[in-house]
Structure 1
Amino acid sequence: MSRTNPANEYEALAYVIERLVTRFPGVDEDEITVMAAEELESFDAARLRDYIPLLIEHGVRQRIQVHLAA
């Protein structure tokens, strides 16, 4: 397992979740995982999968920031 060259999409998602948990320590890890799963579901039909982890990280980060600002 390599952070810079993950073997597959799910390994990359594990690193995304780890980064988000570190960046937002006040948000429960399970909540971040659920948000990541919801974001992943929105990309089910995507054919090009290379950028999915990056897009999920961006989406979850936005959701957390909106939630914390409320």
Structure 2
Amino acid sequence: MGVSEELRALADVVDRLAAKFPGMPREHIEDVVQQEHSLLDAGRVRAFIPVLVEHAARDRLSR
């Protein structure tokens, strides 16, 4: 997965989470996704990064 594909996938993650949490400000969702992404930024296998970020962000937003 290239950088542009990963960024597109993360934008899709934000869209899905914004739909799942409509009462939450989109900026907050974007911040959480960015924070989770930064935790995985050193990973060498990039294909699963968006999925892992989505799961972690969804867990954090559900609290």
TM-score, structure 2 as length reference: 0.91
Q: In structure 2, how many angstroms separate the alpha carbons of the residues matched to 1:44 and 1:53?
A: 11
Distance in 1 of aligned mates of 2:42 and 2:14: 22
Greater fraction of residues in helix: 2
Aligned-residue Cα RMSD (Å) equals: 0.9
**Same amino acid, percent of matched pairs:** 38
Aligned pair count reads 60
Aligned mates of 2:55, 2:41 — CA distance in 1: 17
**Deviant stretches of 4+, over 3 Å:** none
Q: Structure 2: which 5+ runs fail to align?
A: none
TM-score by length of 1: 0.82
Structure of larger gyration radius: 1
5+ residue gaps in structure 1? Answer: 1-6
**Are 2:9 and 1:12 equivalent residues in the alignment?**
yes
